[in-house]
Structure 1
Amino acid sequence: MSFYNEIQKYNWDEVKNQIYSKTEADVKQALEKEKIDLNDFQALISPAASAFLETMAQKSMQLTQKRFGKCIQMYIPLYISNSCTNTCIYCGFNHKNKFDRKILNSEEIKQEAKEIKKLGFEHILLVSGEDQKNCGCDYIGEMMDSIKDQFSLISLEAQPMSTDEYEKLTHKGLNTVYIYQETYNESNYRKYHPSGKKSNYQYRLETPDRLGKAGVHKVGLGCLLGLEDWRVDTFFTALHLQYLERTYWKSKYSISFPRLRPHASGFQPNYETTQKDLVQLITAYRLFNHHVEISLSTRESEKFRDNMLQLGATSFSAGSKTNPGGYSNKEESLEQFSINDDRSPSEIAEMIQSKGYEVVWKDWDNFMQL
């Protein structure tokens, strides 16, 4: 049994019709509840809810502060490779893009880590293109071994792996794995992922199941906003989250809402997701799940991230470079996407503090160091 079996009970078009048929009365009913279900969540992400954003924002702020306090966790991505065997049409790492590829070695990642430590970070996210042969489990484990004594928390965003491989990395100190389905629309999934291992919809969809079985501490979910109708895709993300929390209750969960950004392939979004839409989405998620962590990356603008600080977000990236070697040298290498908020970590920390929030650089000790 896996989430793939669970999702077969739903039809994309039927779910879309359910969401778009919600009325203001449905929204009001959902807002009156202390705990909402998936039917209520549909109402809160529906067009009918756009008239209630202020109410949703206020409730979201109250619930977030009640659960997480006035704290923002800081993290930074460290891209260890841009080598990829997939041909995702929306990604700068697309295997068909004719750029020099870069795979960091142990000495290079140590140099990157040295520069990142100067910025104050204790939480690092290792990011890699999906290249099982050259950047698989053994390579990632080697990179972790090279820097794990410098950081209190190591997360990973890379190709899907087997349960055994995730267990191996967990024993090395891996805390969190982020794996984005990109879109839950199985009919169109292959259109965006024509070839490579990522073209296998079911294998990717079942990755969080393998993470749960491997005992990974935290699992990050999300879809790529701009591929399909955001309201429908994010409903299925919520369905996925609910399934995982019930099935693998020992793990924690986080949600991200990446919107398509400019990159080498030049792909343009099929569906627009405005900042107003994103406010509605984030606040709806907080009302649906009071405990899930919500991350906002540097894909979003300064002004938007500043405003969302109080409305549901719990973690921010800062000072991000999306190309391997980007922190320690000026040598150009292929970026995955262009960032939107280019403020330094210290500038973002000052902004967070100016709003009366605490900047959390470290909230977890790596058990491998104890």
Structure 2
Amino acid sequence: MYNPRSFRAEEFISHTEVMETLEYARQHCNDKTLLAEILAKANRRKGLTHREAAVLLLCEDPTVTEQMYQLAHQIKLDYYGNRIVIFAPLYLSNYCVNGCTYCPYHAKNKHISRKKLTQEDIVREVTALQDMGHKRLAIEAGEDPLHNPISYILECIDTIYHIHHKNGAIRRVNVNIAATTEEEYHMLKEAGIGTYILFQETYHKESYEKLHPTGPKHDYAYHTEAMDRAMTGGIDDVGLGVLYGLENYPYELVALLMHAEHLEAVHGVGPHTISIPRIKRAEDINPEDFDNGIDDDTFAKICALIRIAVPYTGMIISTRESKAVRQRLLPLGISQISGGSRTSVGGYDMPEDPEDNSAQFDVSDSRTLDEVVCWLMEQEYIPSFCTACYREGRTGDRFMTFCKSGQILNYCHPNALMTLQEYLEDYASPHTKEIGEALIQKEMQRIPNAARREKAIAYLKEIAAGKRDFRF
């Protein structure tokens, strides 16, 4: 049944293969020779198969785990440098016809406030996000053909790209909406989206169908095969993820890596990003009702394993997680985080309303964007607002070739520093600006190509003089 080149969900995510992989891992997770071989392969930046990763996952030797952590840290630096890309979610609508038992947007929830942004609302929300300093958004919406048709999503994207307030502009809109048709994915591509993101929630088919008892999302195959339709429809960059806590985590990690292998085998390019959300408390949702929660140690191990198994992928952690958890995971492979996020519909422009219950989940890291930017720089990370690759056509296999070739320090590094300079000039507090300018001066010296370094320095001077949007 298992066939990574198949377009059928139950063949490229074969339940039998997952179970056999986990049994193999249980039998070999203490085999020191095999463990050494797997770690050596990871150290060569060759990635890992789902079976090799499963062996490391089930190995409980703390020495092996520490080696994984060190590898994950170095591999992230090799592929993405010390940059951390910043984004924010924008919730357009929480109308939804699905019955997902873990999500407060489920159709039977009569307690939650149902909201949908008008185009005028979007202007206010995006202006507020621009005034924070954001350049990259991930738009979110429930699945509802009446309230949230593709025409509405496309109109919202067009509105967002045309909002310019002071020096603000959203330069990349990523999209996290329900699985749809190849034709509609082509329409999203034509609208200029960045990454199409769709969480699988769980790859375990039986659990998936129980967790999604009603609505279009109940169709496991249609949902699981969505990335193939998206890529066939012309979308170069797709983002995977499961919701940890719904099903047994070893099963989920193995299946996730099988999905990445499938995309690589069929389309020649794996996932642009992998997100690692855990189920959180929300209106009408109690995480304790689910039996598969994972502790912080396991969460860290999963993060490190994804990084060494799929070294080229961007890894995302959102404000679902606390400052402490995010700080722990940053050195283990994370390359993107959200900042200053609101998970309610209309949450950026309106003042905090204790009566509003339209949020999809509770935010655990409630710091402002400026506080997050400052915190990153204090740890010598570069907060990046860069969208250059997307706008220069370095997407899909072109991005992966560029990423794997080690050109980060000549392209992404200076681009990140220039967008950070924009943030410091336009939005930063005095303390953050002071830290940032010192960091930029230090990091500029790390650009290997002398000509590119000199050009980047010249661009920085132009940014300080009021010009914007330079990129390599």
TM-score by length of 1: 0.95
Matched, 1:146 2:154: no
Identify which of structures 1 and 2 has the higher relative contact order when contacts are C-alpha pairs closer than 8 Å and 6+ apart.
Answer: 1
Match of 2:136 in 1: 123
Q: Which has the higher helix share?
A: 2
d(CA) in 2 for partners of 1:80 and 1:183? 24
Unpaired segments ≥5 residues, structure 2: 1-5, 163-168, 394-468
Equivalent residue for 2:374, pick from 333, 340, 350: 350
Q: 1:49 to 1:109 in 2, by over 3 A?
A: farther
- Root-mean-square deviation over aligned CA pairs: 1.9
Q: Would you say the 8 A contact 1:22–1:48 is kept in 2? A: no
Identity %: 27
Contact 1:222/1:237 (8 A) holds in 2:
yes
Shift of 1:88: 0.7
Aligned to 1:304: 325
Tell me what 2:37 maps to. Answer: 29
Give runs of aligned pairs for residues 38-57 of structure 1, distance below 5 A.
38-48=50-60, 51-57=63-69
Residues 45-101 of structure 1: CA deviation (Å, up to 9, x unaligned): 214355522211111111110111110000000000011101111111111111231
Residue deviations 1:200-228 (CA, integer Å, cap 9, x gap)? 10100010001110121311101110111
8 Å Cα contact 1:73-1:316 kept in structure 2: yes
Alignment of 1:1-370 (within 5 A): 1-4=6-9, 5-8=11-14, 10-24=16-30, 25=32, 26-33=34-41, 34=44, 35=46, 36-48=48-60, 51-98=63-110, 99-149=112-162, 150-249=169-268, 253-267=272-286, 268=288, 269-330=290-351, 331=353, 332-364=356-388, 366=391
- Residue in structure 1 matched with residue 439 of structure 2 by the alignment: none
**Contact 2:344 2:357 (C-alpha < 8 Å) held by counterparts:** yes
- Alignment partner of 2:377: what SS? helix
Q: Which has the larger radius of gyration?
A: 2
Compute the displacement of 1:249 (Å). Answer: 2.5
Q: Do the aligned partners of 1:263 and 1:337 also contact (CA within 8 Å) in 2?
A: yes
In 1, are the aligned partners of 2:263 and 2:271 still within 8 Å (CA)? Answer: no
Which amino acid counterpart does residue 184 of structure 1 have in structure 2?
Y
SS in 2 for 1:208: helix
Q: Is the 8 A contact 1:219 1:254 kept in 2?
A: yes
- 1:367/1:114 Cα in 2 relative to 1: closer, same or farther (>3 Å)? farther
Q: Which amino acid aligns with 2:97?
A: T
SS in structure 2 of the partner of residue 144 of structure 1: helix
Runs of 5+ in structure 1 lacking a partner?
A: none
TM-score scaled by length of structure 2:
0.75
Q: Does structure 2 conserve the Cα–Cα contact (< 8 Å) formed by 1:299 and 1:341?
A: yes
SS in 2 for 1:282: helix
User: What displacement does 1:154 show?
Assistant: 0.4
Which stretch shows the higher mean deviation, 7-16 or 25-34? 7-16
